[in-house]
Amino acid sequence: MNPSGITALVTGGGSGLGEATARALAEKGAKVALADVGMEQAEKVAGEIGGLAIRCDVTSAEDGEAAIAAVTEKLGPPRILVNCAGIAVAMKTVGKEGPHPLDLYRKVIEVNLLGSFNMIRLFAAQAQELKPLAGDERGVIVNTASVAAFDGQIGQAAYSASKGGIVGMTLPIARDLARAGIRVCTIAPGIFKTPMLAGLPEDAQASLGQQVPFPPRLGEPSEYAALACHIVENQMLNGETIRLDGAIRMAP
Ligand code: NAD
């Protein structure tokens, strides 16, 4: 799909990978809405790209419905959904410090996995009713997993499960939506220089970068955004999870 003139909804669009993707899609001529819980940042980015900021907690059915309705009213029905909203929490092992707290596990699964699913189901329900574009396409969805889905580290059970769930649902949803002309792909990023990493000191960030075989550095959000745009534009990409990680394989 050529994003020019098309409405795109980017969750987590106020920061990091979502922000970079919102900017890249806007540069390609898309009308971009940013759905986020962090309104100050989202409004700042929206102001800079001539987009629309919407307060939306992706875990809420009501917020998701209201966000789709607001985008449709103000920018037209969205045909592109990029799911970037997500949280990473402090490492917590399953056993050493006693039983892993259930509320922490639930929170991570709820935001990262259920939140993505919530937005997909609402987006798909309206996109399947739209007039098809060239190539019989009605919509495209880009999700964000993580390399933690494949080689999660100590203390990352909840985060890895949430991201593994996104990888797992990518193909079945692509098959569900194939007849409607809606594609679904997932990007599994390695380690990217975003506010999510801000808790780590600079030297720890640099040493993480050195663990990447090539290029030996952290990923730039613009590199994620470029792949998200490529998925939007390349109609043959569907049902796929693509690692974007410089070949890093995380040590335990
Ligand atoms: P970030 O913290 O910079 O951005 C995340 C955004 O999501 C924020 O704007 C935040 O307000 C928003 N958000 C959080 N909970 C939300 C909710 N319930 N509803 C709506 N918005 C919500 O982080 P980022 O690094 O840009 O991460 C984006 C995605 O990429 C996340 O899913 C993250 O797990 C994934 N990821 C990041 C990295 C990395 O190295 N940065 C690596 C792999 C995967």
How is residue 61 written in tokens?
A: 């059915």
Give every CB contact of residue 240 below 8 A, 6+ residues apart in sequence: 170, 185, 186
State the catalytic residue, choosing from 105, 159, 192, 224: 159
Work out the mean pLDDT of the chain and round it to a whole number. Answer: 96
Asked if the interface predicted TM-score (ipTM) of this complex is over 0.85, the answer is: yes
- If you measure from the C-alpha of residue 25 to the centroid of ligand 1, how many angstroms do you get, rounded to a whole number? 18
Structure token digits, residue 241: 């999870």
Whether 248 maps to a domain, the answer reads no
Query: 237 lies in which domain range?
Result: 7-243
Q: Tell me if 57 CB under 6 Å of ligand 1.
A: yes
Phi and psi torsions of 8, nearest 5° = -125, 140
Sheet holding 52-55, edge to edge: 52-55, 31-36, 7-11, 80-83, 139-144, 182-189, 241-244
Do 162 and 109 meet the contact criterion of CB atoms below 8 Å apart?
yes
Per the domain annotation, does 102 fall within a domain?
yes
Phi, psi of 237 (to 5 degrees): -80, 115
Does residue 89 have its Cβ closer than 6 Å to ligand 1?
A: no
pLDDT the model gives residue 132: 98
What is the DSSP secondary-structure string of 171-182? HHHHHHHGGGTE
Select from 196, 220, 241 the residue to mutate for testing ligand 1; criterion: most ligand atoms less than 8 Å from CB: 196
Alpha carbon of 13 to those of 25, 157, 158, 199: distances in Å? 11, 26, 23, 20
| Centroid of ligand 1 to alpha carbon of 18 (angstroms) | 7
Question: What kind and span of H or E run contains 82?
Answer: strand 80-83
Give the CATH number for residue 13.
Answer: 3.40.50.720
pLDDT digits (tens, 9 = 90+) for 29-43: 999 999 999 999 999
Picking from 59-63, 90-94, 193-197, which range would have the lowest pLDDT averaged per residue?
A: 90-94
Whole-structure pTM over 0.80, yes or no? Answer: yes
- Half-sphere exposure for 245 (CA within 13 Å, toward CB): 22
Q: How many angstroms is it from 33 CA to the middle of ligand 1?
A: 16
Q: Calculate the CA 246 to chain-centre distance.
A: 19
pLDDT in tens, 193-225: 999 988 788 888 888 899 999 999 999 999 999
* 162, part of any domain: yes
Task: Kindly report, residue by residue over 6-25, the tens digit of the pLDDT.
Answer: 999 999 999 999 999 999 99
Q: Does 105 qualify as catalytic in the annotation? A: no
250 in a structural domain: no
Give me the mean pLDDT over the 82-92 stretch: 92
Burial label, 39 (beta-carbon count in 10 A; 0-12, 13-18, 19+): middle
When divided into structural domains, the chain yields a total of: 1
Find the radius of gyration of the CA atoms of the chain.
17
Q: Do the domain assignments include residue 251?
A: no
* Structure confidence by residue, pLDDT tens digits, 146-201: 999 999 999 999 999 999 999 999 999 999 999 999 999 999 999 999 999 887 88
pLDDT of 95:
85
Q: Name the residue at shortest CA distance from atom 23 of ligand 1.
A: 196
Ligand 1 near 126 CB (within 6 A): no
Q: What does the pLDDT read at residue 252?
A: 83
- C-beta of 111 in contact with ligand 1 (< 6 A): yes
Cβ-based burial of 85 (10 A; exposed 0-12, middle 13-18, buried ≥19): buried
CA-nearest residue for atom 19, ligand 1, is 57
Tell me if 189 CB under 6 Å of ligand 1. yes
Q: Given the CA of residue 147, which atom of ligand 1 is nearest to it?
A: 43
d(CA 219, CA 244): 9
In a domain, 168, yes or no: yes
2 within a domain of the structure (yes/no): no
Give a yes or no: residue 130 inside a domain: yes
Q: What is the DSSP letter of 38?
A: -
Instruction: Average the pLDDT over 55-81 and give the result.
Output: 98
